[in-house]
Amino acid sequence: MKVSYKRLWHILIDKDMNKTDLRERAKLSTVTMAKLSKCENVGTDVLTRICAVLECRVEDIMEILPERVFNKEQINEA
């Protein structure tokens, strides 16, 4: 199973925000932003800070996908 933050990037677009805005408002490090961009695991404290800034739920910014679906999505985005 892999985590996907594709939903997060869509919400940022909808709210007319960029990654820097999110990083500053949620007080995230550049390392954490890199992890999110690479669909790596981050702590629940990070997810809750993001949700507080965006006024949304965790399931609005991420989803857990089976490995085969995740790999297919990565190929389609390239």
Give me Rg for the CA atoms of the chain: 12
Residue 66: count of CB within 10 angstroms of its CB: 10
Indicate yes or no: pTM above 0.85: no
Q: What is the 3-state secondary structure (H, E, C) of 60-74?
A: HHCEEECHHHHHHHH
Q: Are 64 and 2 in contact (CB under 8 A)?
A: yes
10-residue mean pLDDT profile of the chain (78 residues): values are 93 97 98 96 97 97 82 54
pLDDT at 72: 55
The CATH class for the domain spanning 2-77 reads: mainly alpha
SS3 31: helix
